[in-house]
Amino acid sequence: MNPISLEALAAEVPDGAMLALPPDNSLPSVALAKALIRRGVRNLRLLGVPVSGFATDILIGAGCVTSVQTSAVSLGEAGFAPRFSAALRAGTIKVIDATCPAIHTMLQASEKGVPFMPLRGLIGSDILANRPDWKVVPNPFAQEGEDPIVLLPALNPDFVCFHAAMADEEGNVWVGRRRECATIAHASKRALVTVERVVPGNFLEDERLASGAINATYISGIAIAERGARPVALLDEYGFDGAYVSEYARMARSEEGFAAWCAREVFEQKAQAAE
Amino acid sequence: MNEIKLEERIAVALAKLILDPSAPPARHIAVGAASPMPAAACWLVKKQGNPVRLSLLHKRSGNPFTEGTRELFDLTGQGRIDLFFLGGGQIDGSANLNLVGTGEWPGMGVRFPGSFGSAFMYFMTPRTILFREEHTPRVFVEKVDNISAPGVSAPGVFRRGTAQALVTGRCVFRFHPERARFSLESVHPGETVESVREATGFTFDVTGDVPFTPDPTAEELALLRGPICDEMMETYPEFCARVFGRKQAA
């Protein structure tokens, strides 16, 4: 699989798509989120797997998002996600709350090709009370009593975007220990992946690399984006840029501040890179 | 740096609760997102030589999971995690947790980040220690606006455990699931039963004289400010700078 440009990768995502994103501790592609903003995508239905961070907040701030299904949205030590909070208050996005293992479980059901999976917990939570799509049934295997348990429907996102350390000549991508990205790729219709680099060979023929690889079967497009997770960390390759996120959190408190940040960090940076 | 920081006091109080001999054993402890004080408490328990396995969800190098956060929840579902920590934007007198927000669902008053794994972890872990530094009537309310995770469940609902205790910036509460109420276990120096009552929106039980929460010892402080800060720098640089006065190397 030949890499395409970052902008071409972003063009693959149509308006209105359900787009799954990993959180700030698990290989989000901030480079692709910025490219989606430049492409002017609209009405995305974001899925935080299982929570949402920086990429989600900038997509919301740029007006690309109509709904967010997630278990939390946060900028970590930099605090609450300002554009998410503002959009919820203004009523410009719909927020569908979940709890982390429920999101994993709904994706695992898709991965297995079954219509639903059960999950413990949740009973008595207002999360469940606000999820008409989740059902409580008696455990059919219970020896005594009803043993109520929650059933969650399979969730099959249109796209997942994440940032891997590398791709090989065959289009396999390598995510190291962050193998929950594989679950999301298995459960999604298409996976679009940015990578730091493309290397010769085939990860699946290397015993040490195979376990951290995602087979090209699941990958629909690859683009090279050096430092593509920035400001988020990438495995052992680079760390979290707390100063960058703190500055964002300050600026994005207001709509004007966000617009100035976006002009500088999403549009100007790209223009400079193109020169 | 000799003055005891409130965060250090809370971390030491959490560590004592982890080691509470009257509670089920904590062989494997997990620490979730945004939990620097519980992380410090766990490191303290470990660095004091107690045999305990720590799984810190947000540790970057040497992260314990090879299936990401999914693995944490699967482990907990199986009963392999003995103890977890949860906070809350609001916590009420029945140990209900609200991590979603105030006002109408989904937090149309003040939105908090969200429920994270609370609606599962609170049920599936034998022990949960609650923590929240801000001890005010807006946090500790009579009844939470929204329930992310309930403190107690109806009979017949599968549940391994609930809150063991709640550590705040003013005191330590013990939770009693059979009557779904907190009792005051100790107050931090400078506080009284009355000052805690003033600052708490829910009613709680008081039996006899309530002792002061013991000060961290010199040994505990040395561990926190030295080797424990070293362990936490990568995950919680701002916390380490603020509490331990440690700046990250450029």
Kindly report, residue by residue over B50-76, the tens digit of the pLDDT. 999 999 888 888 889 998 889 999 999
Q: Are A240 and B60 inside 8 Å of each other by CB?
A: yes
Nearest residue to A98 (alpha-carbon basis) of B178, B114, B14: B114
pLDDT at A176: 96
Residue A137 to residues A144, A204, B24, B105: CA-CA distances in angstroms? Answer: 14, 42, 31, 24
In order of A153, A222, A237, B237, the CA distances from B250 in angstroms are 47, 33, 16, 12
Q: What is the pLDDT of residue B246?
A: 87
| B-contacting residues in A 135-194 (Cβ below 8 Å) | 145-149, 177-181, 183
Each residue of B102-143: pLDDT tens digit?
Answer: 999 999 999 999 999 999 999 999 999 999 999 999 999 999
CB contact under 8 A, A101 and B153: no
Structure tokens at B140: 């500790």
pLDDT of residue B32: 84
Residue B216 pLDDT: 97
Question: For A126, which of B66, B70, B146 is closest by C-beta distance?
Answer: B146
Sign for the CA dihedral angle at B116, B122, B128, B130 comes to positive
Q: How many CB pairs under 8 A join A and B?
A: 156
- Reported ipTM: the value is 0.95
How does pLDDT run across A127-155, given as a tens digit for each residue?
A: 999 999 999 999 999 998 899 999 999 99
Nearest to A73 among B113, B124, B239 (CB): B113
Mean pLDDT for chain A overall? 96
Chain B contacts of A101, Cβ < 8 Å? 70, 73-74, 76-77, 117, 120
Residue of chain A whose alpha carbon sits nearest to that of B122:
A121
Instruction: Quote the tokens at residue A94.
Output: 């719909």
Percentage, residues of chain B above pLDDT 90: 88
The mean pLDDT values, 10 residues at a time, for chain A of 275 residues are: 95 98 95 98 98 98 98 93 97 98 98 98 98 98 94 98 98 96 97 98 97 97 98 94 96 98 92 64
Chain A residue nearest residue B75, CA to CA: A101
pLDDT for the residue A217:
97
**Chain B residues with beta carbon closer than 8 angstroms to that of A104:** 69-70, 73
Q: Tell me, what's the pLDDT at B33?
A: 77
**Looking at residue A275, what is its pLDDT?**
55
Yes or no, beta carbons of B108 and A122 under 8 Å apart: no
Shortest Cα distance, chain A CAs vs residue B104, angstroms: 11
How far out from the chain centre does Cα B92 lie?
15
Per-residue confidence (pLDDT) for residue A273, from 0 to 100: 66
Residues of chain B with pLDDT under 70: 1, 248-250
Instruction: Give the nearest partner residue to B66 out of A120, A179, A242, using CB atoms.
Output: A179
Whether residue A74 and residue B33 make contact (CB cut-off 8 A), yes or no, is yes
The pLDDT of residue B1: 52
